[in-house]
Amino acid sequence: MDFAADAYERDMLAFRAAREARYRSEDGWLTLVERIPLEPGANQTPLGTVTVGDHGRIVLDVKPGLELTRLGAGGQVVTGRVEAQVRGPGVPGEPVIFTSGERRFEIVRRGDRLVLRVRDSKAPARVAFTGIPAYPIDAAYRVVAEFARLAAPQDTAVEMSDGDEDVAQLLGVARFALPDQPSRLELQIFTEESSGRLYVPFGDRTNREETYGGGRFLYGKEDGASLVLDFNRACNPPCAFNPLVACPLPPPANRLTVPVRAGERLPRGN
């Protein structure tokens, strides 16, 4: 193995180790044990009554006897009434996160709605996690695609794994070739709302038998009129590990008719 190939493999192994460390963490997706939609008006929750107003404004009347610590607010213990604004696209605000014992409570925005996520550091899924299976690293699956950008991003409806629908910004189309495939392929490229990165949800012929049935995703790195797509970094979405997580599914245009044997495989236990 030459120096460049050796450096590439080290980089990939570090990437995979970081992925597994994230899932082992105390606030990773494996700790999610409950997801409670918050409707406009009063909602009864494990925290107490959460009243949802306009523009992400909430009022929490803490359940009597419950001791909560609010993160991001000096670690202060809160009782009685708490008012906050949940941040989102174009809406300023602070993360609304509380802890109580082993549990962590996050009020987050998804589209124009709010959700209460309940996490437990001792969740069975986290305790049982043994790593993420993956295909052997193959540098041939790091491809440079032609990237045809749209004149302006387009808001596009995206199906979610929980049957709901969200909106993502479609940026353009990437055209590329994969090893041992006779024709060029195309994938639609989106912007990931939370990070601003170029985001590629895709499905392929390995889904269900070798990889997660809901597809995988990766991130692209733009270089002028080109886009680097490294399928060795193709990742399982969080819903592959925990069905309580709602994930975007690949649009029909991103369901490839060829197998992509690179990146992460079907998680153990699925």
C-alpha angle 222-225-230 in degrees, rounded to nearest 5: 40
Reported as a pLDDT band with limits 50, 70 and 90, residue 270 is low
| Mean pLDDT computed over 124-150 | 95
Q: pLDDT digit string (tens) for 218-257?
A: 999 988 789 999 999 999 999 999 999 889 999 999 999 9
Which residue would you say has higher pLDDT here, 96 or 17?
17
Q: At 190, is the secondary structure helix, strand, or coil? A: strand
| Mean pLDDT computed over 129-154 | 95
Reported as a pLDDT band with limits 50, 70 and 90, residue 90 is low
Evaluate if residue 112 carries a pLDDT over 80.
no
Evaluate if residue 57 carries a pLDDT over 70.
yes
Q: At 252, is the secondary structure helix, strand, or coil? A: helix
- Report the alpha-carbon distance of residue 40 to residue 51 in Å, rounded: 7
| Mean pLDDT computed over 159-165 | 88
pTM: 0.85
Who contacts 116 (Cβ-Cβ below 8 Å, separation ≥6)? 34, 35, 36, 38, 43, 45, 47, 50, 105, 106, 107
Query: Position 28: which residue type?
Result: G
Q: What is the pLDDT of residue 2?
A: 62
C-alpha angle 264-267-270 in degrees, rounded to nearest 5: 140
Q: What is the pLDDT of residue 122?
A: 93
C-alpha angle 82-84-90 in degrees, rounded to nearest 5: 175
